[in-house]
Structure 1
Amino acid sequence: MSFVLGIDTSNYTTSCALLNTDDMTVRSCKKLLPVKQGERGLRQSDAVFHHTKQLPELMGQLFDEKYDISAVGYSYAPRCVEGSYMPCFLVGENVAKAVSLACGVGIERTSHQVGHILAALYSCGKLDMLRSDRPFAAFHVSGGTTDLLLCEPDHDEIIKITQIGGSRDLKGGQAIDRTGVRLGLSFPCGKELEKLAEQSEHKIKPKASVDGLYCSLSGIENQCGKLMEEGCAKADIAAYCIDCVSLAVEKMTKNLRREYRDIPIIYAGGVMSNKLIKSRLEKYGSFAEPEFSSDNAVGVAVYAAVREGKIVI
């Protein structure tokens, strides 16, 4: 058996994964970056420090025995566009290059965003979409991204991505995290906000500002702040925040269907691991399992395996 190693050091999570190229099973280890209570994220210098500490620990867990490594992949930037850069990805890049040199195997790099999309396709059992001539659409909704992407299968690049929509201001994950922090939850707040929302007994009708394939989410933070000032129950505010994000994505989805007809749709990114959002949107497209929706290195490993010819899609 041979394995492809994937490494992803995002602004939220340290992650590494081994893809078995014989049976397409994966082993994965990941750990959130620690954020102090009441804060809404990390400085890049702190993210680099925590990745530097956490990645060797996770690699030790991942490699619980000797594995035959045939290729290595890593994420080098948030997105595959000019100017997309975060120092936190350098930690994963350096470790990936060291492993590649030590093992004498090929190395491939891709973006964090491509990793999310490929992880979602892997989880949904739809990797065969990469060999189709038919494009598909992907919603990538996370703490740093709310993008609607046209994905075109490509022999060399695996997929060519063109942004055709998204948020013009606040990102879906930012709206959730900022609301969660104000409610006293730990950052990142997605899981805790979802649990809190499940306790809601008085649903508040959500609002969503959508123009075609683009949305504006900054109003959600303001509206949730106003509800807090009015003494609204925390559970109801949590549910309202999630419902607003969900409604915005649903409206964009419907507009996408009008413009692109029956194009297949994939929902990826940490926000899309929310089961309340999934219950509203799964009739429109495919969702990955939560572990493959949140930040992970599985998609990066898949990318390297395809590029290096270790698997045939």
Structure 2
Amino acid sequence: MARVLGIDTSNYTTSVCLYDMVREEIRQEKKLLPVKEQAIGLKQSDAVFHHTVQLPGLMEALALDGPVDAIGVSTRPRSVEGSYMPCFLVGEGTARSLAAALHAPLFRFSHQDGHVMAALYSSGSMELLDGRFLAFHVSGGTTEALLVTPQGDGFGCECVAKTLDLNAGQVIDRVGVMLGLAFPAGRGLDALAGECEQEFRVRPAMKGLDCCLSGLQNQCETRFSQGEERRAVAKYCLCYVAAALEEMTAGLLQQYGPLPLLYAGGVMSNSYIRARFTKRFGARFADPAFSSDNAAGVALLAARAFLAKNPS
């Protein structure tokens, strides 16, 4: 029985995953980091502390009931030079200790690579690993479009478009908290916007294929202060984010041709954005359970790396 353990300690979620390569079964345990009411984020020192507290309990809940053949862990936000966040040290330290104790090989990946792999798996799109495709990673920490190219037992990600200021998830969280929603506010804003039938025509701020989202927060604050309904402000926020991502997508398809499109990250689990992009682009999305931060992607990547080194 070949089984792989995945660990991910991102900025807002502690998660572990056990992937059975024979049965092709995934078991996950994950828990959001606690954020004080009305706060819009965490200090890295607090994130490290909460991961340290939460990770043992999640490992216990995962209930490893047999051997582990390999371990995968996210060690950095993205696969670029200088990409670093202290919170990933908690997962990496645990993974190194387990690998040494279990005499299991350890494979390191970026958090972003894990998101892309989780989206491929959960959308039933693993065949995309045979060629180039465009993948969007849209969350509180990242808003990037990636040109993904297969490389050995994994893939390479080249950033070809991005936000120039705030990330989409940051804006959604800030607007959501302003509207009285709990942090992280993505799910609450989605539900609130669903109560509004109005459609907004917006012109997002773009510089080439890159977007600028900081002005959106100011526009939402102004609308709310002028008495616009909460549900309308929520819908406007999502319409703006969707319009920006649409312009990025359309421009990239024009530049690179009709490559397959894959969307990952917590923002892309939004029901309004998913419906809009599915209709226009026929895009593929991570299943909602695999859209937010999770350890499944790094477990799947580690499984591919393990099989490449142990083909029999």
TM range (shorter): over 0.9
Equivalent of 1:213, from 191, 209, 213? Answer: 209
1:216-242, Cα deviation, whole Å (9 max, x unpaired) = 111110110110111000011011111
Find the counterpart in structure 2 of residue 236 from structure 1.
232
CA distance in structure 2 between the aligned counterparts of 1:66 and 1:25, rounded to whole angstroms: 14
Cα deviation, residue 160, structure 1: 0.9
CA distance in structure 2 between the aligned counterparts of 1:33 and 1:198, rounded to whole angstroms: 27
Whether 1:135 and 2:142 are equivalent positions in the alignment is: no
Percent of aligned pairs with the same amino acid: 49
1:72-120, Cα deviation, whole Å (9 max, x unpaired) = 0000010111111111001101111111112111000000000000000
Equivalent of 1:160, from 156, 159, 182? Answer: 156
Deviates more, 1:278-287 or 1:68-77: 278-287
Find the counterpart in structure 2 of residue 124 from structure 1.
123
CA distance in structure 1 between the aligned counterparts of 2:198 and 2:192, rounded to whole angstroms: 13
Cα deviation, residue 200, structure 1: 1.6
Partner amino acid, structure 1, of 2:148: C
Cα deviation, residue 297, structure 1: 0.4
Q: In structure 2, the residue corresponding to 1:168 is in which secondary structure?
A: coil
CA distance in structure 1 between the aligned counterparts of 2:61 and 2:41, rounded to whole angstroms: 26
Find the counterpart in structure 2 of residue 146 from structure 1.
143
Partner amino acid, structure 2, of 1:271: V
The answer (yes or no) to whether the contact 1:135–1:153 under 8 Å persists in 2 is yes
CA distance in structure 2 between the aligned counterparts of 1:177 and 1:208, rounded to whole angstroms: 18
Number of positions where the alignment pairs a residue of Structure 1 with one of Structure 2? 308
Equivalent of 1:296, from 285, 294, 298? Answer: 294
Length-normalised TM-score, structure 1? 0.95
Equivalent of 1:192, from 188, 192, 199? Answer: 188
Q: In structure 2, the residue corresponding to 1:69 is in which secondary structure?
A: coil
CA distance in structure 2 between the aligned counterparts of 1:186 and 1:275, rounded to whole angstroms: 18
Query: What 5-or-longer segments of structure 2 have no aligned partner?
Result: none
Whether 1:224 and 2:220 are equivalent positions in the alignment is: yes
Partner amino acid, structure 2, of 1:124: S
The answer (yes or no) to whether the contact 1:9–1:75 under 8 Å persists in 2 is yes
Partner amino acid, structure 2, of 1:294: S
Find the counterpart in structure 2 of residue 46 from structure 1.
46
1:233-266, Cα deviation, whole Å (9 max, x unpaired) = 0011011111110111111111111111111111
1:143-168, Cα deviation, whole Å (9 max, x unpaired) = 01000111100115x11111110111
Cα deviation, residue 67, structure 1: 2.6
Query: What 5-or-longer segments of structure 1 have no aligned partner?
Result: none
Length-normalised TM-score, structure 2? 0.95
CA distance in structure 1 between the aligned counterparts of 2:146 and 2:241, rounded to whole angstroms: 17
